[in-house]
Amino acid sequence: MSEEHLETQELLFEVLENQLADNNPKQVKETLMRLCMTGHSREDALELMACALAPEMEAVIERNESFNLPRYIEHLALLPDMPWVTE
């Protein structure tokens, strides 16, 4: 794994942990609980949630777009499925 990828992953996890601590948006904590209750470890659940957060962070950082909270919440609701990810 490249150093840039690791830094990005750490940033995503840091944002998620902050969202969990602040309970904002509340769907982050709800998603973590749902994924853990359906058999995912906390670490696996956070990795899935990072996949929902990544497109929003990319839009903000790379394309100077506003954070799209409704889309992020929609992606969280779809986990563990990720139809927005293309191979």
Residue 83 lies in a domain: no
Checking 40-48 for CB contacts under 8 A at 24+ apart, the result is: 40/80, 46/13, 46/16, 48/79, 48/80, 48/82
Residue 85 lies in a domain: no
Number of compact structural domains in the chain? 1
pLDDT of residue 72: 96
Q: Which two tokens stand for residue 26?
A: 């509340």
Residue 84 lies in a domain: no
pLDDT of residue 32: 98
Residue 39 lies in a domain: yes
Residue 58 lies in domain: 3-78
Q: How many other CB atoms sit within 10 Å of the CB of residue 36?
A: 14
Residue 58 lies in a domain: yes
Residue 87 lies in a domain: no
pLDDT tens-digit readout, 22-66: 999 999 999 999 999 999 999 999 999 999 999 999 898 889 999
